Amino acid sequence: MSLLELDGVKVHFPVKKGVLFDRTVGHVYAVDGVSLSVEAGQTYGLVGESGCGKTTLGRAILRLVDITEGDVVLDGTNLAELPGEEMRGMRRRLQMVFQDPLGSLDPRQNIESILSEGMAAHGIGADREERRTRIREILAKVGLPTGALSRYPHEFSGGQRQRIGIARALVLEPDVIICDEPVSALDVSIQAQVINLLEELQEQMGLTYVVIAHDLAVVRHISDVIGVMYLGGLVEEGPSDTLYAEPLHPYTKALMSAVPIPDPAVEDTRERILLTGDLPSPSKPPTGCRFHTRCPWKQDTLCATERPELKDAGNGHKVACHYAAEIAAGTVRQTVPGAVRPPEAETAPAEVPAPAKPADDGRTADPGGRAGRAAEPGKTAEPGGTAGTGGTGGKSAESAESAETAQGGGTAGTGTTPEAGGTPEAGDAVQADEAADADEATDAGEAPKTGEAPKTGEAAETVEAAEAAESAVTKD
């Protein structure tokens, strides 16, 4: 049995309307029947474009959102059925690292207090001294100086804050760490350092990860198995190398074809697949195969009427497409002219078709928001790209408020947050020599930008909102 097993997990958020009577007028099918297994000591990478339900699935594993249907089994215990009290105990074993390191750290607590809080709540360490010793060990492991103990989150750079977020998870000695877009708020130069750190820690401590990203390049090297999500469901899953060598689902092919290859010879000779249109609204998912409204190979039979199951195509490589074998063999025709560009067409600059009519659940109300960006596969898969670093454009108007309160941790709700990875305010509070200290142990590239003024009020506001959910993870 795998360490973590999900079976048919669904998370449907009710859409409410009305002032006096809260009527449920529909549902957002954020996660709609996901089954997957994560082996101990391995990394499961979950990719998909903005709004496809990755964060919601991560939160469902921790039961930070209500699971509508399905099982989440950790080491033989079905978390979906666990009473609240027992679930709080189990939370120590499942930790989450958030996308926005600043928004998920309380600006009023110093690092020792942030890290020891969860330890005390879960009875780790006999007393303060023992906890402090353990925290020092973990800080060293994540590459932060022990002097960091008495400092505050704003005194660190974005990369250092993400290390603090990782340390906060590690002090609780979890079995599984869910890293939700752990590097997308960081500069490209810092992203590799944090990914490498996660890999080193996994080797040293035998950790198990679920790494969520919209960027295939981020999960490629760190993952043993990759699952590709589209509109609430997995469309393909397989060992990382196999999936990269031979993507079977048209959606994965499109994502993959947009990842630039550093070798110009290879880059010039490969096929491009351009998807038209936005991700449809998860409150009105298309019938049949959810990808049929954008699929270049959509066929007249089955595609629009029957939802394909995720089936093993051999060697643990699974795909949910009625025609995957025929597409691989080249025996079905493409039905969207120009969507698949053969290598020779690449000599002329590729023209990305204009997005189709926006989805109607408010997701595209913000044209610069994540829903707008996600429509272009090139951006979705841009390595090191920060598309979707936290706009809230993806939430439906009715649900935005509750979503923000529940999410808190800053996975998506950076609307009022100072720019992730940006600076604290503490220009003032940080002495140049202190900053230098902190950097000695990490990388010069991560130096806090002390010149930029922080907006303490704003940060506090965001984190306060974040606390409710955060505390569920750290204190429970």
Ligand X SMILES: Nc1ncnc2c1ncn2[C@@H]1O[C@H](COP(=O)(O)OP(=O)(O)OP(=O)(O)O)[C@@H](O)[C@H]1O
Give the residues lining the site for Mg ion (CB under 5 A). Answer: 55
Residue 50 in contact with ligand X, rule: CB under 6 A = yes
Residue 297 in contact with ligand SF4, rule: CB under 6 A = yes
Q: Is 265 helix (H, G, I), strand (E, B) or coil?
A: helix
Partner whose footprint covers residue 474, from Mg ion, ligand SF4, ligand X, none (CB < 5 to 8 Å by kind): none
Give the length of the chain: 476
Of the residues 179, 254, 295, 469, which one makes contact with ligand SF4 according to CB under 6 A? 295
For ligand SF4, give the closer residue by CB, 250 or 388.
250
Cα separation, 12 vs 116, in Å, equals 35
Q: At what angle do helices 456-474 and 400-407 cross, to 10 degrees?
A: 70
Element holding 208 (H helix, E strand): strand 208-213
Which residues inside 278-317 make contact with ligand X, applying CB under 6 A?
A: 282
Element holding 228 (H helix, E strand): strand 225-230
Q: Using the rule CB under 6 A, give the single segment among 69-77, 255-263, 307-315, 397-405 that binds ligand X.
A: 397-405
Cβ contacts of 97 within 8 Å, gap of 6 or more? 162, 165, 166, 169, 177, 178, 179, 180, 182
Partner whose footprint covers residue 394, from ligand X, Mg ion, ligand SF4, none (CB < 5 to 8 Å by kind): ligand X
Partner whose footprint covers residue 46, from Mg ion, ligand X, ligand SF4, none (CB < 5 to 8 Å by kind): none
Which residues inside 185-224 make contact with ligand X, applying CB under 6 A?
A: 214
Residue 420's nearest CA partner among 443, 397, 386, 450 is: 386
Q: Using the rule CB under 6 A, give the single segment among 51-59, 201-209, 298-306, 420-428 that binds ligand X.
A: 51-59
Residue 13 in contact with ligand SF4, rule: CB under 6 A = no
As beta bridge partners, residue 96 has 178
Taking the complex as a whole, the smallest distance from the CB of residue 396 to ligand X amounts, in Å, to: 6
For ligand SF4, give the closer residue by CB, 82 or 336.
336
The neighbour count for residue 472, using CB atoms within 10 Å, is 20
Residue 298's nearest CA partner among 352, 336, 339 is: 336
For ligand SF4, give the closer residue by CB, 48 or 454.
48
Cα separation, 178 vs 49, in Å, equals 18
Residue 292 in contact with ligand SF4, rule: CB under 6 A = yes
Which residues inside 331-370 make contact with ligand X, applying CB under 6 A?
A: 370
Residue 201's nearest CA partner among 177, 237, 229 is: 177
Determine the longest span between alpha carbons in the chain, in angstroms: 68
Cβ contacts of 337 within 8 Å, gap of 6 or more? none
Element holding 167 (H helix, E strand): helix 158-170
Of the residues 116, 160, 364, 396, which one makes contact with ligand X according to CB under 6 A? 396
Residue 101 in contact with ligand X, rule: CB under 6 A = no
Partner whose footprint covers residue 247, from ligand SF4, ligand X, Mg ion, none (CB < 5 to 8 Å by kind): none
Residue 103 in contact with ligand X, rule: CB under 6 A = no
Residue 51 in contact with ligand X, rule: CB under 6 A = yes
Residue 48 in contact with ligand SF4, rule: CB under 6 A = no
Residue 388 in contact with ligand X, rule: CB under 6 A = yes
* Residue nearest to Mg ion according to CB distances in the complex: 55
For ligand X, give the closer residue by CB, 215 or 425.
215
Q: CB burial class (10 A; 0-12, 13-18, 19+) of residue 436?
A: exposed
Residue 334 in contact with ligand SF4, rule: CB under 6 A = no
Of the residues 291, 391, 425, 469, which one makes contact with ligand SF4 according to CB under 6 A? 291
Of the residues 4, 96, 211, 412, which one makes contact with ligand X according to CB under 6 A? 412
Burial of 396-433, coded b for 16+ CB within 10 Å and e otherwise, reads: bebbbeebbebbbbbbbbbbebbebbebbbbbeebeee
Q: Using the rule CB under 6 A, give the single segment among 111-119, 255-263, 320-328, 406-414 that binds ligand SF4.
A: 320-328
Q: Helices (H) and strands (E) in the chain — how many of each?
A: 16, 14
Binding region for ligand X (CB under 6 A): 13, 28, 30, 48, 50-56, 214, 282, 370, 388, 394-396, 399, 402-403, 406, 412
Binding region for ligand SF4 (CB under 6 A): 250, 289, 291-292, 295, 297-299, 303, 308, 321-323
